[in-house]
Structure 1
Amino acid sequence: MCSCNVANVLRSKRMGKTRYFTSSNINLSAEGDCYYLNGEPLEREEKSGKTNYKLSEFKGEVSKAVSKFVDRSFENIIVLIGAGASVVMDDNDSIDGRYGKTVSMIAETVFNQLKSGSYCFQYSKPEKNEINVFPLEKMAVKIGYSDNILDETNNKLDSSFDLEAFLSRLIMHNQFVVEDKEKWEESQSAIFDIIKQETSYGYDKDVFHHAALINILSKKLASESKLSVVTTNYDTLVEDAAESMNYTVFDGFSFSRTPRFDDDMFEWHLSKHVSDVKTRENIYKKNVIDLLKIHGSLTWRMSKSGENVVRLDKHAPGESVMIFPSSDKYMQSYEEPYFELFARFQDLLKRPNTLLVTTGFSFADNHISRMIIQAVSHNPGLSTLITDYSLDSAKPNKNWSELQHMMENANSVAFLRATLNKDLTKYLVGYPEEIS
C-alpha cells in the first residue's frame, strides 16, 4: 500500500518538500520516501495496488524534465561556472578540503596563517623571506570593520565574518594609510596570496566532472558552433579538463610561445578546407570551446612592459591578474582585460536560440546576476537552467528570488537541485536505473 496517503500529502504541504526540479509548468519534489509531480504523489500501478516510486524512478523523472528543457536545437550554449563548482563533498556530505573551498573556509585559513604576525609568500613574492604582517583581528579593529571577529568559545573566526566586506574596507584603508604603510600593504598582499593558494588545486578526473559537462554540452551543438564556458573561478580546472580530452581552448590569448591577451581570438574557428570533384567546403574541428575567465586567473600576469596581460604557468612568480573579493568587483570589471570579457558574455546572452546553464553560481555577485536577469527579461530566445545544491526558497538573495519570480511568470527559466561534481551530468544524460 502506498505510504503517500492524504495524511502524508497534507503533512508535506505544512512542512514543505525538497524541490529537485522546477519550471513554469513542472515541479518535482520529495519528502522522505514520497515523490511528487506538481504536488501529486508519483505512484505506479501494480497487481497489489498503487506503489511509491523508488528513488531511481524519481530521479529518472527529474532527468526527463531536464532533457525536455535542454534537448532542443540550440544554436548557442553557455555554461556559467561559479565557485561552488570546484567544491567536492565527501561520503559524509562534508566539504573535502583538498579541493574547492567556501569563502568562509578561506577566511579561516587567512585568520590562522596571519595569527602569528608573520607570513611567507608562496605565489606573489616567493623570493621574499618571512615578513611581518598584522593579524586579522588587529586589522579588523583598525579599519573599522569590527571590534571583535572571534568566536571566543572556539577561538576561531565568528561565522558572521564577511571576507569580501573586510577586504573592501582594507583596500580603502590602505589607499590613505601613512603609518606602517609598508606593513599594511604586505598584510593585504599576504591575504591575496593565501586566496591564490586556496584556489589552486590539481585536476582529478575521478573527482571533478568538468570534462563530462564540457563533453555533454558540446555534443548538443552543431560542429560550427563552440561551447562558451564562462567562469568566475581563478583555478585551472576547465583548462585541465579540456586538455585531458584533447579539446582546443580559445581563452582570449594568442597561440604564441608567450600567449598574450587578444580579445579578437574568440572570433576565430579552427577549420580545414576539403575539396573533391563535386564540392569544396570547410570542415570545422571538433572539440573546441571558448573560455571566458571574467574574474581573471592564477595563470595571468602583467608583461614586464606592463602593456599586455600574458598567460604563464600558475606557479610563475609575479602578481596574478585577478579580481579579488571586494565591493570594488563591479568597478574592476570595467578595466582591461575584464571589460572585454564581460562585454563578450553580455553579447552571448543576447543571441537568439541560446541555452544558459549555471552551476556553482549563487547569484550573489550583483554585477553578473543583473546582466543575466536583464537578458532573461529582454531576450525571448534565451533559456536558463539554474543548478545549485539547494533550491531553498529562503535563499538570502534578491537576484535568486527575482529569477524565481520570472520563472513563475512563464519565462524560460528552470531550477535543478544538482551539483557539478555529484549528479548534474547524470541528469543531463539520463539517470542510471539503479541508484545505490
Structure 2
Amino acid sequence: MGEEKTSYFSFGMRLFKRNEKFLIEKNSVESSFQNYLGAMGHNLEEDTKEEPNPLKIEFESEIKREVKKFTNRKFDNIVFLAGAGASVVCKKSNTTEKTEDNKNDIDSDCGKTVNMIAEEIYKKLNIESKSKKVYSLKDLAKKAHYAGVITEKNQRSISDHFDLEDFLSCVIHFEPYIGDKEKKEKYIATKKRVLEIIKENTSYSYDGKKFKHEGILNILTERIEAPSKLSVITTNYDTVFEDAAANQNYTVFDGFKFLAKPKFDSDMFNWNLVKEVSDIKTRELEYNKRVFNLIKLHGSLTWKRDEEGEIVRVLNGEKVEADDTVMIFPSSDKYAQSYQEPYFDLFTKFQELLKRKNTLLITAGFSFSDNHIFRMISQAVKNNKELALLVTDYDIDQPNNKNWQELLNLSKDYHQVAFLKATMNDNLGTYLGDHNDN
C-alpha cells in the first residue's frame, strides 16, 4: 500500500520506491487520488461519481493513518514552523494544487504569495511615479543597475521570474553610490515606498472561517504535557497567530514582557503560566495548557523601535512607520540582520529548540529558500537523532529547489524526515487529526 502514496505522503525508502505506474504528472490531491484508484483497480469514471465519495474517504484515511504513525508518538517538544504559504488561503476547496498555476484562486484578502506582492509593487509604483515623487519599478531597477527580469516581453505584469529579494538587495546596496542629492532623495523615497507596500500586503484582517490556525493550535497543544509548551515559529510579519490565539483564549509568550508598554525580553520564552493548587497534604503547581511560545524570526508588523531605541510591541492598531519597523525585509541583507537584536535572540531560541531530545518539527508553507534557516534545520536533522521532521506543503516534489532536494536525500538516508502534501488552511488539520483519533 506504500508505493501508490509516494506523491502524497513519503517517509524513508519504504515510501520512496517509485514505480513508474504511480508517478504523477499533476501534483495535486485529485491526481494523487486518481492514481490511487488506478493502482487499486477501480474504474475511474464509474467509481468516483458518488458524493461524498467513499473511495476518496478511504484514500484520505490511509494518508491519515500514515501521518499518525509518524506524529502520534509521545513527543516532549513540539515545534511548528509556518512560512509564507501558511497565510495563503485559496478559494477552491482543493488548495493543494500548485499555487503558481492557480494565482486567481488565491483569496487576496488573506495572505499573498511573494509574486503577488511584487505585482502590487509594480502596479502601485507605476501609478505613483506620475507624481514625480517616486520612480516606477523599471526606473528604480535602472537606477540600481538591476539586471534581472521584471516583465516578460510585451507584457504589462510582473514576470514569474522576478526575484523580489534580489531586487531589494540590489536597490539597498546601490543606494550609497548615488551622488546627485535630488535623485538620491527620490531613490530613497521609492525604496521606502516599496517597503511600505510590502507591509500593506502582509497586513490583513483575521477571518476564523478562512484561516485554520486555531485548529492547528488546539491539535498541537493537546499533545504537549506540562511543563513543556508548544513553540510556534514563523517567518511571517502578520498577526494571524496572535489573532487565532485571542479567539481561543491562549496566552502567548512572544518575547515581550506583560506590561502596559510591552518591551522585548527573550527570557520571556522560558516562562510558563501556573497556579498553586493547595490541599491538606501537599502543594502542587497546575500548568495552564492554553499557552504557547510565538517566535517571529523576521519580526512583526506590530514591533518598532521607540525613541530610546528599545524594541516594543505597539497596541490598539498604532501605525508603525517603515523606518521604525522591526522587520527583516526580503533581501540578501536578512542573513546579516539575523545577527542583530532581536533576531539573534529569536534564532538562538529556535536553534535551542531543535537540539532538544524527543522533538517533533512540523513545517507548513515553508519553502526552505531561506538558507540560514534551512541550514539550522538540516544540521539538526543530521545531529539530533531524536528529531522528527514533517514537511507539509501544496507541492512535495520540488526538483528545482536544492534545499528541498537535500531534505529528500536525508529522508532516503533513513533520517526521520517525512513529506505530506497538505496546506495549512485546507487539510493539514485533518491529516494531523485529534490526538486520540484511532
State TM-score, norm by structure 2: 0.86
1:334: which partner in 2? 339
1:292 to 2:280 alignment: no
Aligned length: 398
Q: Write the distance in 1 (CA, Å) between the matches of 2:352 and 2:132.
A: 45
Deviation, structure 1 residue 274: 1.1
Q: Which runs of 4+ in 1 moved over 6 A?
A: none
Deviation, structure 1 residue 393: 4.4
1:151 to 2:139 alignment: no
Q: Write the distance in 2 (CA, Å) between the matches of 1:147 and 1:349.
A: 36
Change (3 A) 1:383 1:42: farther
Q: Write the distance in 2 (CA, Å) between the matches of 1:426 and 1:384.
A: 18
Deviation, structure 1 residue 31: 4.6
Kindly indicate which of the two structures has a greater share of residues assigned to helix: 2
Mapping for residues 263-412 of structure 1, pairs under 5 Å? 263-318=266-321, 319-394=324-399, 396-412=400-416
1:261: which partner in 2? 264
1:420: which partner in 2? 424
Contact 1:253-1:260 within 8 A present in 2 as well: yes
Residue 35 of structure 1: SS of its match in structure 2? helix
2:237: which partner in 1? 234
Q: Write the distance in 1 (CA, Å) between the matches of 2:333 and 2:235.
A: 15
Q: Write the distance in 2 (CA, Å) between the matches of 1:146 and 1:409.
A: 40
Q: Write the distance in 1 (CA, Å) between the matches of 2:133 and 2:144.
A: 18
Q: Write the distance in 2 (CA, Å) between the matches of 1:324 and 1:299.
A: 14
1:22 to 2:10 alignment: yes
1:126: which partner in 2? none
Residue 115 of structure 1: SS of its match in structure 2? helix
For 2:124, give the aligned amino acid. Answer: Q
For 1:330, give the aligned amino acid. Answer: Y
Change (3 A) 1:258 1:89: same
Contact 1:270-1:285 within 8 A present in 2 as well: yes
For 2:157, give the aligned amino acid. Answer: K
1:112: which partner in 2? 123
Structure 2: gaps (5+ residues): 17-21, 23-30, 43-52, 94-101
1:103 to 2:107 alignment: no
Q: Write the distance in 2 (CA, Å) between the matches of 1:205 and 1:25.
A: 39
1:172 to 2:173 alignment: yes
2:99: which partner in 1? none
2:57: which partner in 1? 56
Q: Write the distance in 2 (CA, Å) between the matches of 1:148 and 1:373.
A: 31
Aligned-pair identity in percent equals 47
Instruction: Report Cα offsets for 1:60-103 as digits up to 9, x if no partner.
Output: 00000111111011000000000000101112852111111111
Moved more, 241-250 or 177-186: 177-186
Contact 1:35-1:53 within 8 A present in 2 as well: no
Change (3 A) 1:69 1:302: same
Structure 1: gaps (5+ residues): 5-12, 45-51, 120-129, 431-436
Q: Write the distance in 2 (CA, Å) between the matches of 1:386 and 1:171.
A: 33
Change (3 A) 1:284 1:333: same
Instruction: Report Cα offsets for 1:172-215 as digits up to 9, x if no partner.
Output: 01133222221111111100000000000111111000110011
Kindly indicate which of the two structures has a greater share of residues assigned to strand: 1
1:75: which partner in 2? 76
Residue 330 of structure 2: SS of its match in structure 1? coil
Instruction: Report Cα offsets for 1:259-304 as digits up to 9, x if no partner.
Output: 0000111111111111111211111112000000000000001011
Q: What's the C-alpha RMSD, in Å, of the aligned pairs?
A: 2.5
Deviation, structure 1 residue 17: 8.0
Deviation, structure 1 residue 392: 1.5
2:92: which partner in 1? 91
Q: Write the distance in 2 (CA, Å) between the matches of 1:239 and 1:345.
A: 19
Contact 1:300-1:314 within 8 A present in 2 as well: no
For 1:169, give the aligned amino acid. Answer: C
Q: Write the distance in 2 (CA, Å) between the matches of 1:313 and 1:175.
A: 37
Q: Write the distance in 1 (CA, Å) between the matches of 2:116 and 2:364.
A: 20
